[in-house]
Amino acid sequence: MIPRFLRPCLLAVCVAAGASSSHAAKVEFFDDIDMGPIPLGVEEHRYLAFGEVMFDFYRHANFDAINKLLVNQHQELFNEDTDYAELLLGDLYVTYGLPGNAEIIFNRLLKKDILSRTRAQTWLHKAALHYREGNLDEAAMILDGDNIKGLEAADEARRRLMLANILMAEQDFIGAMDYLNTVPVDTDEGRYATYNMGVAMIRAGHGDDGLKLLKSLLNAGGNSDQALALRDRAALAAGLTEIRNGNLESARSDLRKVRSDGPFSEDALLALGLANYRAGDIKKALPLWLEAVRRNSNHPSVQEALMLAPRAYEELGGMPQALAGYQYAASQYRESMKDIQRAINRIQESGWAENLLPEDVNEMGFLPANSDDMAAGGELSYLYKLFSSNAFSQRFEHYRQIHQIKNMVEHWQRSLPAMQESYAIQQSSLNKYLPHVRQSVSEQIRRQERLSVATDQLASDIPNYVDMSEPQHVATPEQAIMWSKVDGLARQFGTISGSSHQNALRLRRVRGLLLWDIAHQSVEQREKQIQDAATLQDQNQVLAERVAAVKQQIRDATLRTRDDLGARLASQNQRIERIRVETIKTLEALEKSMQNDALKLLQSNQKKLADQLAEAHLSIARIQDTSVSGDKNQRTSS
């Protein structure tokens, strides 16, 4: 039987053992449990996810942006009530040539009670969709309506430009000018709108007004490459128009403003020489054409100058120079025809369209990845008009987007075997270790339950008052040990050696001092015991919650051993292969279409070069005949 004075010490030892068990369980099983910050709410998650989407959108990674939007929709983070995500998704659908999907989103947004600015932006996106599809009447009705008021400055400029372009297409130039007047000409949008307006008015027979707009660009600001190139183009267009109108002096003044190293310098040299030629100043025309001849011989204007320069020599009486010029022109035409044939052969090769893809998949605009090679081979000189056309650029954009899908699908196809292998390894590991883990956790659960009963019992056994009838219950561990020894000696006094009266007095004094010391700290010690018991209960509650979390993880792991992920991965492999085959067929059809357009353009240039080569040979023969006839006449007269 356990002595009564040893029971408090035993209870303290049990409590310490329970606490150490709790600590050991924590170290062994719960180091990986995150005790960090509180998880974010749904709205905070939405803002973070939309921030990632906007980051991709502004770095022109539209493919990544639309994928993240759709994934977040599937995970129900975004839905039809997330207006800002819906508006961006509709805009991306337009970019990817899915107008039906975009219009569904825009119509759904317009039926809702949304902010006036968001509503106006939605109407603008809807109008841009109709404008892009060629439904100009519907686009104009939206752009000129009251629902689109309240746009920001950039969107308002975009609205006015679309309306101006629609009115120009209808040849309502006065109405178009009303919208363009508020668009600053010192912006890229304003400069392009002014140029388009000027060219459209000239083609429609309003030459004076069109020239006025074009010449207004010659003094417009802007030092960017784009602004300088557009200024050169406006000067060239104005000069050519003045030549057609017979205003040669004004034409020469405009053409001189084209930069000699700009992208339109060859055209300007040809046109300025032609203006001098028509003015009767052949000697001023000849140096310009000779300068043009030194440029890229595959450029159409240079090819024209190859025949005009020797013709000028011929009219000036320089027959040997004219003959050499025609012979040089014939040799250049033959080389250009060889370049065209090489370009045709390259275009007919498989993978031509893929070689045009830019190296950066997120790069905007159209610039072939092999543009340097194309320029060196002369191919770019003939195809630049095709590359700059809207129809070809739209098809190439679709080709690039589908090519991205193909790369993504092939990446999935390569990743799927690794996923299947990882899944098989996970299943094997779970089946191997789950029984042992369940048994271990069950034992820990029983220990935790026993500890919970012990802590509750301990807390209930501690009274909330001080009772000195049993001093060991309110003593410190050191005092309790001393009390057990002193009380044991007092009980056995008289039966042991040295039980004299003097030792009895000493024992009584020690016992009294010890009781006074225990009583002096009894209140603080009782409060500490109550606090320690409460702390032990709290720690036990935390332990119970962690054990419950582990039980839930075991249940989740058990469910993973019974899911159908393996079968779904196998079915996805077949689906991915079908998508890959479809994308390859679509890419081949788009490449074939682009190849046909490029070949058609090159064959047209080839025919033109053949005609020019024939003309050069005829001119050579004519000069040679003239020279022979002159020699004969000279010999006859002699």
Nearest to 340 by CA among 593, 603, 548, 107: 603
pLDDT for 28 equals 40
Give the per-residue pLDDT at 474. Answer: 82
* Per-residue pLDDT tens digits for 296-336: 888 889 989 999 999 999 899 889 999 999 999 999 999 98
What does DSSP assign to residue 263? Answer: T
Structure-token match 């183009």, residue found? 233
Whose tokens are 């092939």? That residue is: 410
Cβ-count burial of 632 within 10 angstroms (0-12 exposed, 13-18 middle, 19+ buried)? Answer: exposed
The predicted structure's pLDDT at residue 178 = 77
- At residue 364, what is the residue type? M
CB 341 within 8 A of CB 332: no
DSSP code for 6: G
Q: What is the pLDDT of residue 151?
A: 79
For residue 26, give both structure tokens: 């924590």
- Alpha-carbon distance of 471 to 484, in angstroms, equals 10
**What's the 3-state SS for 552-606?**
HHHHHHHHHCCCCHHHHHHHHHHHHHHHHHHHHHHHHHHHHHHHHHHHHHHHHHH
Which stretches in the chain have pLDDT values below 70? 1-38, 97, 99, 113-117, 359-381, 627-638
Instruction: Report the distance separating Cα 471 and Cα 464, nearest Å.
Output: 15
Residue 233 and residue 249 in contact, taking contact as beta carbons nearer than 8 Å: no
> Which amino acid would we find at residue 337?
M
- pLDDT given at position 379: 64
- What pLDDT sits at residue 628? 60
The CA-based dihedral angle spanning residues 533, 539, 544, 550, taken in that order and rounded to the nearest 10 degrees: -160
Structure tokens at 190: 């304003």
Tell me which residue of 199, 266, 216 sits closest to 274, measured CA to CA. Answer: 266
Go through 270-307 and write b for each residue having 16 or more CB atoms within 10 A of its CB, e for each that does not. Answer: bbbbbbbbeeeeeebbbebbbbbbeeebbbbbbbbbbb
| Cβ atoms 338, 377 nearer than 8 A | no
Q: Are 125 and 106 in contact (CB under 8 A)?
A: yes
CA distances from 463 to 44, 394, 530 (A): 49, 86, 9
What is the per-residue pLDDT across 100-123, written as a single tens digit (0 to 9) for each? Answer: 777 788 777 777 756 666 777 778
Residue 378 dihedral angles phi and psi, to the nearest 5°? 85, -5
Nearest to 52 by CA among 40, 65, 62, 61: 65
pLDDT digits (tens, 9 = 90+) for 173-190: 778 777 777 777 777 777
Instruction: Encode pLDDT of 207-259 as tens digits.
Output: 888 888 888 888 877 788 888 888 999 999 999 999 999 899 999 999 999 99
Candidates 600, 621, 611, 459; CA nearest to 526 is 459
Nearest to 244 by CA among 212, 278, 218: 278
* pTM (two decimals): 0.62
Confidence (pLDDT) at 85: 87
Determine the 3-state secondary structure of 247 from DSSP.
coil
Cα dihedral 431, 436, 440, 446, rounded to 10, equals 80
Q: Distance of CA 595 to CAs 197, 348, 357, 583, Å?
A: 33, 7, 14, 18
User: In sequence order, which residues have a C-beta less than 8 Å from that of residue 207 and are 6 or more positions away?
Assistant: 201, 241, 245
